[in-house]
Structure formats: C-alpha cells, structure tokens
Structure 1
C-alpha cells in the first residue's frame, strides 16, 4: 500500500514539473511576421519584417488600412538586426509563421551562409517556408508591394510560387530545409527562384495599387538563381529553367509548342512527366543516363494537319520528344560550360548508386562535372486529343 502511495506522489510531482510553458507569450504580446527580407548595405545586414495587423483581417472588418506593415532595422549580424526591430515595434517579432524569406541578389552573390546559419538556429522557425532571391531590386522592395488577390502579400508570394511550379515548370518552390540540405550535400548544388517587381515600385506600397484593374506594380517570379556553394553564380532563363526541372524530375505540368511541317504550331500540355537519373559508364568514363517518359495532351492546333492518320500522331510525339530533349541538353551544356556547378545532382546520383566510383571523383568533381557525358532518352505519348480530333477550321475537314 505504501508503495502505491509513493508511486502516486511521484507521478503528481512529475506532473507539477511539467506544468506550464517556460517560454509562454500571450498573443497580444506578439507581432506575427509572415515574411522577412535580408539585404546587405554598407557591410551591415538590413532586415525588414512584414507583420500582420490583426484588426484589419478580423471578421468584423477593419479601418480600411493596409493589412500588413513593414518594420526595418540594420545590424552587424542578421540576429542583431532582428533584435533591433524591438526598437521600432511595440511587440516581439514572432517568426514561427514565416511563409517566405527574400534574399537580395547582391547578398546572394556575396554568400548566403550567414543567412542559412541564422535561420537554422532559430528555435521558433519551422523549415517549410520558401527561400527566394530578389532580382534587380532590394529584397525589401518585394515585401513593399500591395497585392490584390491575397490581403497578405507574403501569402500571395507563397501561392504564386506554388502555383507556377505546379502548372508551368519554369520555377521551383524551394523550402529552407531543401536549400539547407543541398548546401550540406555532396554532389548537389542549390537553386532558388528569382522574383522581381514589374511596374513602379514607388506606387506598389500604396493602397491605390490594388484599387485599379491593372496595378501599377506587380510581383513576378522570373528565372532561376543557381548557386555554387553558398554563392549565386548566375541565372537560368525561362527555357533553361524548364530544362532544369526536367532533369531533376520536378515537372508536374507544363506546355510546349510543336512547329507544324507547313507552318503554324500545335500546343501540347504535359499530363505526366517522369525522369530517372542513373549513373552509367559511357565510353569507359563516368557518365549519367537520363530517361524521360512523357504523357501529353493536345491543347490547341494552329495549323492544317490530319490527326486521323497515325503517322501524323507519331510525328507529333517524335517532334515533341525531340524538343524536350534539346531543351534539357541545352540546359546541361550551359550549366556545365558557363557556370560549372552541379545543380542537377549528378554527383549525388553517382555517390548513391556507385559509392566506390564517387570516392575517386569527389576531390576533383568540379572538373569532372564539366566534361561529364549525359545520355538523354525521351519517350513521348500523346494520349488525349480533346473533344474534337482535327482542327476546327482546316482543309482536311472540307
């Protein structure tokens, strides 16, 4: 009996120790940041935090003011700049609900090591927010643009990137966790999507920017920033960005145009895309075999072609596969010859599939990568033609 009493007392004592939260903060003590930007000015880090104004988002309706505000501070380190924000805001900046972190192009060229280190150590931070690079403008300016469809600009940035990656394949939504992994990983370098302002940035922060049908300033994701180590070394254009996503099997849906034999073109929508990378000896040298399987639909026909003939369908499949192969091949050549950084993960593939081979190549991988042969095979199938087979207006239908 005494033993049972002692056990009960012990359990109660443990429960008392576990009660409460040592780091508890009341909601009215916090300023919820949905995005932060990081710039480098005069050897100091400049941080801006996009903070939600709860009263402007309440069901009862606010005063009609902006639903977010921007707080800024500079410091010798990012952590110091974040702490200095307490000098301009009455509440503690809480980073647990970040959607995006915008890094300036200049800082990315200098190196994002300090940024990644700070974001890695913050116990409040999750690792599922997106990292993006501001192109041709300060990172802060990106957060200073009012958006139309989403009241909170950070949500619009997050959703645009998520949607464009899913439907066009010229962007890639990279979480902080994924970028950090790439920086720590052998044989794979990092890539982030670029973002820029279209229009007049000085008007973008005003409420009037979202009161017109065509805003004076808009946000657009454009091109991929490619890294070597923690430094930005260049940009891939739209076609090269799509080629990159094709190599790493990141194409969820996209479109392409096939030129018709007698002029005009046909729009083809990718329904399924699967690329597999394999380490393989090519002419007794280390190499990569890339096999791509595509299932596509016809989206639009702007030429005269008879699709009742199987030969024409086979021709379209062959031409589309050829176009995809050329885009991928061209992207690999540009990255190998111009930037010399393995953003595709060819080295990581060799390490995973042929670890003994990787031991021989690891020390001189940058030199090996530049000359690495890549054998590309593309198989394409057009499975759906829509509710009509031939063009609505064509000679073949007459």
Structure 2
C-alpha cells in the first residue's frame, strides 16, 4: 500500500513538473521579423521599420511558381523609445512581432551621427528575444527604412542578402566587416569606446527598390551594396573609411580573410595581382623612457593571380623581388589606415588595450589622455610586412614572355 501511494505521489509530481505548452506560441499568431531599421524623425521620435517574412510567398518565389507577391511585408511605427514604437506597431499588425529570428538591425546614418547608438544597443540587449549574434549595419547615405524596404534579387529575403554580401566581401576583398551586436558592445565597452561597423547603402531610386517589378529585370534599377566602414567613438559615428584606410584597418585588426593587392613592376603601374591566401597580424606596444611605441607585424602568404608584363617566375630572384614589392604595397595601406585613425583620434586598433595588458601601471597614467593630442595621435608605429608567393598558377613562364620571344 505504501509502495502504491509513493508511486502515485511520484506520478503526481512528474505531471506537475513536466506540464508542457504553458508558454506555447502558435505560428499563425507570430510575425517573424527578419530585419529592423531604426531612424529618427524630424520631431525627435524613433521610427522603426519592420521587415516581416511572408513564408508562403518566399516558398513560391524560390520554387519558380506560385504567387507573385513580395517575399516580405514592411510595417513602420514611431514612438518616444524603441519599446513604445514596437508596441504601437500592434495597431497595424494582426500578429505579435517575434524577434528571435531577426538577423539584421539597420541604423540610420543621421541617428548614429547625432545621437549615437549606445541607448539603442542597451534597449535591444534587454529584450530576451533578440540575439546578441544579430548583425548590425549603418545606412550610408540612405535611411535605415530605405534599406529595409528594398527588395533584392537572388536572395529573396533582403536581410539575408545584406548579411551574405558582408560575409562574401570580407572574405574576398576586405574593405568591410560583418559584426554582431556582441562584438560592437565589446568594442564600445573598451577603454576608448571605439568601434567599427560596416555600412550599406541603396543605389538607385528608393521607390523603385520597393517594387516587385524591380526584381523582374536582368539589371535591377535599384540595388543594395556594401559601402564603407563607420567609425564610432563613445557611441557616435564620427567618420567613414573607404578603400585603403578601410582595408588597412581590417588588416591591422587581423580580420582580413582574403584580398588582392595590385603591385607595380618596373615601369608599369599595377602590373601584378597578388592574391592573399592567409595572413597573421600581431600588434604590440611597449614603453621606452616613459614613451609608448607600437609595432604592427604582418605575415602574408598568397598566389600570383595575374601578370600584365613579360616575366619569368621560374627564377627565385624574380619571386623574391615580387614578394618585396607586394610587402611594400601592403605596408603603405597599413600606414594609411594608421594615419587616418590618428587624424580622427580614435584608437580602433586596440593599441591602448595592448599596452594595458602588458603594462597596466603605465596605462593607468596614460589612459585619460590617450586619445588626445598627447599620446595616440602622435604614437610612433613601426610597420613590418613579410609577403610570400606560394604559387604562380598553372604557368611558370609568362605567356607574354613567350610571345615577346617569338616576336624577336
């Protein structure tokens, strides 16, 4: 009898503890937000633009048949803060906004420059549904709403197009960075409060970008493209990096995955294309007679991708000369990036953090004036580059060399 009573007691407890579906969410009651744009209105309110997935339309478009409706629906709402704006959206949306699958947040350039992003990040980080791995981009020469509303070919969900573009261009070119909320938060919490966030902009007519017939053209009139890297200091956008300063900055941060370096050869400009395969960059700072000195060392391995002049790569001396020329070009980009950062007075490379790790006592004395004209803007940085050519392609002797020999 006791055993039977004990069994019933255990079963009762298990039934209570294992009760399921108490917090269930029906799919038909949810609106899946794939991207969210944040702008500031003229009257100082926050305007949120939601990119909501239409599951049936996405499946139909990807399968080549079915409905010709857009794969996403756009809703907007405004409020004095993000929570109010999100709740005000309920007046227009029949389902609850669900942020667990939000892959992208876009912040307007005007808002990032005038007010900053610290308050926005704090608000989003408090929401239990938002993931800190969500990607963050800044709308460059566009509003966040323009980017979120734009329809894109190939990648039917516009948020996926932006994220994949950032991943691909970082891997192949290196002038942009794919960063998450977690990475931006960590950077803004650093001693100098500096951070780098990739920019994206709309090329073409914003009204045309919202139309489905824009996707029915082989060359869409309006497209989205990665554009520059936004530089933040104390949470506010202060500058944009493009071309060499952008790629050089990514390089010093040891985040270059691959890129091409054009190298001069003899009298011809940009005659060689050096394709990087792998690289490793180390940054260190030391104190000499009470003054900080920084060093940046990069070791690069790559392939010879293109040769526009007659050259015989079978000769070791020729390869050595090419490696030296490639290293010189890379060094120029790194120095350009450092000079730009010192002009902006933003230690985006973490020289201060490197000093703090190795010389914490000295750092305590310098940190209050680090970004001022006293230290970082005048910091001596020694840049060294080791470049190696590992492969020259399927041909050792240049085809142009063979042609030249035949002609003579």
Settle same-fold status: TM greater than 0.5.
Answer: yes
Which position in structure 1 is the counterpart of 2:284?
A: 278
Q: Which residue of 310, 314, 324 maps to 1:318?
A: 324
Give ranges in structure 2 of 5+ residues lacking alignment: none
Q: 1:15 to 1:176 in 2, by over 3 A?
A: farther
Give ranges in structure 1 of 5+ residues lacking alignment: none
| Structure 1 residue 15, shift from structure 2 partner | 5.2
Q: Which residue of 92, 107, 113 maps to 2:96?
A: 92
SS at match of 1:336: helix
SS at match of 1:106: helix
| Structure 1 residue 89, shift from structure 2 partner | 0.7
Contact kept in structure 2, 1:279 and 1:349, CA below 8 Å:
yes
Which position in structure 1 is the counterpart of 2:264?
A: 259
Contact kept in structure 2, 1:302 and 1:391, CA below 8 Å:
no
SS at match of 1:85: helix
Distance 2:71 2:48 in 1: 20
Distance 1:108 1:202 in 2: 24
| Structure 1 residue 188, shift from structure 2 partner | 5.5
Distance 1:281 1:380 in 2: 28
Q: Write the deviation string for residues 347-392 of structure 1: whole angstroms up to 9, x where unpaired.
A: 1111223222222222222122212221111111100000001321
1:117 aligns with 2:125: no
Contact kept in structure 2, 1:224 and 1:236, CA below 8 Å:
yes
Which position in structure 2 is the counterpart of 1:151?
A: 156
Distance 2:280 2:214 in 1: 41
Which position in structure 1 is the counterpart of 2:143?
A: 138
Distance 1:252 1:3 in 2: 66
Q: 1:180 to 1:14 in 2, by over 3 A?
A: farther
1:228 aligns with 2:233: yes
Q: Which residue of 382, 390, 397 maps to 1:383?
A: 390
| Structure 1 residue 305, shift from structure 2 partner | 2.1
Distance 1:310 1:349 in 2: 38
1:308 aligns with 2:317: no
| Structure 1 residue 278, shift from structure 2 partner | 1.5
| Structure 1 residue 47, shift from structure 2 partner | 0.2
Which position in structure 2 is the counterpart of 1:13?
A: 13
Which position in structure 2 is the counterpart of 1:371?
A: 378
Distance 1:198 1:258 in 2: 31
| Structure 1 residue 13, shift from structure 2 partner | 2.0
Q: 1:373 to 1:87 in 2, by over 3 A?
A: same
| Structure 1 residue 11, shift from structure 2 partner | 7.4
Distance 2:10 2:405 in 1: 87
Q: TM-score, normalised by structure 1?
A: 0.95
Q: Write the deviation string for residues 289-348 of structure 1: whole angstroms up to 9, x where unpaired.
A: 2110000100111112222222221111111101111110111111112x1111111111
| Structure 1 residue 146, shift from structure 2 partner | 1.2
Q: 1:308 to 1:228 in 2, by over 3 A?
A: same
Distance 1:57 1:222 in 2: 27
Contact kept in structure 2, 1:273 and 1:293, CA below 8 Å:
yes
| Structure 1 residue 9, shift from structure 2 partner | 2.9
Distance 2:5 2:136 in 1: 55
Q: Write the deviation string for residues 91-131 of structure 1: whole angstroms up to 9, x where unpaired.
A: 11111101111000001112111210111001011111110
Which position in structure 2 is the counterpart of 1:66?
A: 70
Contact kept in structure 1, 2:193 and 2:234, CA below 8 Å:
no
Distance 1:322 1:5 in 2: 84
Over the residues paired in the alignment, what is the CA RMSD in angstroms?
2.0
Which position in structure 1 is the counterpart of 2:105?
A: 101
| Structure 1 residue 239, shift from structure 2 partner | 1.3
Q: 1:84 to 1:359 in 2, by over 3 A?
A: same
Contact kept in structure 2, 1:306 and 1:396, CA below 8 Å:
no
Q: 1:32 to 1:389 in 2, by over 3 A?
A: same
Deviating more after overlay: 358-367 vs 100-109: 358-367
Contact kept in structure 1, 2:272 and 2:308, CA below 8 Å:
yes
Which position in structure 2 is the counterpart of 1:40?
A: 40
Q: TM-score, normalised by structure 2?
A: 0.92
Q: Write the deviation string for residues 50-98 of structure 1: whole angstroms up to 9, x where unpaired.
A: 0001221236854210010100000000111111111111011111101
